[in-house]
Amino acid sequence: MATNQLVSADSEIRSPGGLVAACCLAMLSIGFATNTPALCLTAIADDLALDSARSGLFLSCVFWGLVVSIPIAGPLADRWGFRYLLVGSAALQASGLLLVSHAHQAWHACLGAGVTGLGTGIVDALLTPLACAAYPKARAKIANLLHAFYPIGMFLVVLIVIALMRMHWSWREIYRFIAATNFPYAIIFLILPLPRHSHEGSERMPGRQLIRLSPFLLLLGAIFLAGVTELGPSQWLPAYLEQAAGGTRTASALGLLLLGVMMALGRLGNSFLARYVSQRRLVVAGATLSLVSLLLASLPAGTLFTICCLAMLGLGVSGLWPTLLSLAGDRFPQAGASMYSLLHTSGNLGGLVGPLAIGLVAQGSNLRLGMATLALAPLLVLLLRAFDQKGDAAAASWRPARRPSSRALI
């Protein structure tokens, strides 16, 4: 047996801290990949002669790539392991960013953005089960710590792009630089000992059985609504501050940066609080604060007040997504990476619906009403959590249907 192999499915993971650190580094790449297009959009649109419709299509292509690759990444990891999927995800991200950097037509840029999204979706689906497998007794702490690195990545890429633009780098050069940032985590995952699977026990709980359990369906619904709450306002934030709150472009950039900072602080704080506060209470507190923040942000009370409300939203929504993921891991520890793929898919679908819902309401009325309408999402999260009473019993009732496997971890 190779020296980097683990003996059995119940063996402890070597260097769990190093594994989580590698996952946090990879999480930064998600923040880089999903925010670079928006930061460079004006320059790209001028260079490629993109109108508003084509610009919107280009921005959406990364997220469509996410939705395509996330559902298949978990099942593949449960069958083939994590290593080559994670290395492949870095290669796809870098390839997609390089394709965009060489684009001279709109379809070429959209293709590159879609390839970037495919790679981003794979790494997005696999990091949470991998990190939680390293610390199965502290999933809430680890999931919030891991996901704090997404807004940290968002914050860092804003600073990086601004600095490179001040140095007179073109958007094409910026894209090539961001592409190069994917290689460090690819190299680490290529040499780091990884678990063969992320589920507990000798046998994985099949997805077809998991989706028949009403407690898991409630979790799917809750994380969909968490995606609506998190990604809807954040995608509209710059336009909302300028058009509805009368802010300048500087104020809108400040608002987006502040949202990212508060999300990062919230997730780091939840990682600490998870040792003392139950996951249910963290979800209820986050949904309640998000509900209040969205309602206050919809009031005509000036730019500074709106920025503060949206920053408070970042603090409230910060713990919803990662805490729901960790709650699912605790409820269904034998489900493996396939379960996390289902949850991430549901959350990202919410991320597609949220901005669309605000736009549709704004089209018929105004942006303030659109933001207020989105407060229904955290309200429904509270209702779903109130209905969820049988998750532990449903998880405990499952038993493997076939002979346990003795496959080693690699």
Q: What is the DSSP string of 309-337?
A: HHHHHHHHHTTHHHHHHHHHHHH-TTS-H
Nearest of 336, 390, 399, 333 to residue 218 by alpha carbon: 390
Domains of the chain in start order, with CATH, are: 14-191 (1.20.1250.20), 206-395 (1.20.1250.20)
pLDDT at 212: 82
**Helix, strand, coil distribution of the chain in percent, nearest 5:** 75, 0, 25
Token pair of 350, please?
């919410």
Nearest of 159, 210, 193, 248 to residue 346 by alpha carbon: 210
Token pair of 192, please?
């780091």
Tell me the sheet residues that pair with 6: 409
Please work out, in degrees rounded to the nearest 5, the angle formed at the alpha carbon of residue 383 by the alpha carbons of 379 and 388: 145
pLDDT at 249: 66
pLDDT at 154: 83
- Give the SS3 label for residue 174: helix
Burial class (CB in 10 A: 0-12, 13-18, 19+), 87: middle
pLDDT at 4: 34
CA–CA gap between residue 11 and residue 163 (Å, rounded): 46
User: Dihedrals φ, ψ of 404, to 5°?
Assistant: -60, 145
Burial class (CB in 10 A: 0-12, 13-18, 19+), 389: exposed
pLDDT at 357: 83
pLDDT at 198: 67
pLDDT at 200: 63
- In single-letter form, the type of residue at position 93 comes to Q
> Residue holding tokens 């507990």?
200
pLDDT at 164: 92
pLDDT at 312: 93
pLDDT (tens place) for every residue of the chain, 410 residues total: 333 333 333 345 667 888 899 999 999 999 899 888 877 887 888 888 877 667 777 877 888 888 899 989 888 888 888 888 999 999 999 999 999 999 999 899 999 999 999 999 999 989 988 888 888 888 888 988 998 998 899 888 888 988 898 899 999 999 999 999 999 989 999 888 887 766 665 677 766 778 888 888 899 999 999 999 988 887 777 778 877 877 776 777 788 788 888 988 999 998 888 888 888 889 999 999 999 999 999 898 888 898 899 999 999 998 898 899 888 888 888 787 888 888 988 988 887 788 878 878 887 888 889 889 989 999 999 888 766 655 454 444 545 554 444 333 33
End-to-end CA distance of the chain: 10
DSSP letter (8 states) at residue 246: -
CB atoms within 10 A of CB 268: 18
Burial class (CB in 10 A: 0-12, 13-18, 19+), 213: buried
pLDDT at 390: 52
Instruction: Summarize pLDDT for 45-94 with one digit per residue, the tens.
Output: 888 887 766 777 787 788 888 889 998 988 888 888 888 899 999 999 99
pLDDT at 197: 63
Assess contact for 25 and 185: CB atoms under 8 A. Answer: yes
CB neighbours of 104 closer than 8 A, spacing ≥ 6?
48
CA–CA gap between residue 61 and residue 109 (Å, rounded): 9
Instruction: Summarize pLDDT for 344-380 with one digit per residue, the tens.
Output: 889 888 877 888 788 788 878 888 898 899 899 999 9
Nearest of 225, 266, 262, 267 to residue 379 by alpha carbon: 225
